[in-house]
């Protein structure tokens, strides 16, 4: 079994919006790598929510509302809403 961190596309997350206080401390402008094998420090709720899209993105899929190799996701916490942009690139 592969360690997994180096398969598929590389995904970079950028925090583009924050309303309230993120429980894991993310702030607008933060960037980090994320994958199906590494939550990048997102809380479990947000990671669980974006996982299907992240998986699709990491392994080369596409959804109609994505903008090329970029997609936006929003935390489900209405009091402390964090928005991230995921960008994929070749390794």
Q: What is the arithmetic mean of pLDDT over 73-85?
A: 93
- The CA-atom distances, in angstroms, between 13 and each of 1, 70, 88 are 26, 10, 9
Residue identified by tokens 């899209």 is 53
Residue identified by tokens 């669980």 is 48
pLDDT for the residue 2? 52
Q: How many CA atoms lie within 13 A of 66 on its CB side?
A: 17
- pLDDT, tens digit (0-9, with 9 covering 90-100), for 20-50: 999 999 999 999 999 999 999 999 999 999 9
**pTM exceeds 0.85, yes or no:** yes
Q: Is the pLDDT of residue 19 over 70?
A: yes
């Amino acid at each position: 079994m592969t360690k997994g961190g180096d398969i598929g596309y590389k995904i970079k997350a950028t925090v583009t919006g924050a309303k309230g206080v993120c429980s894991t401390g993310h702030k607008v402008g933060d960037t980090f790598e994320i994958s199906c094998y590494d939550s990048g420090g997102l809380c479990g709720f947000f990671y669980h929510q974006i996982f299907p899209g992240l998986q699709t993105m990491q392994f080369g899929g596409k959804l109609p509302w994505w903008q090329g190799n970029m997609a936006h996701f929003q935390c489900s916490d209405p009091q402390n809403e964090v928005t991230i942009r995921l960008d994929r690139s070749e390794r």
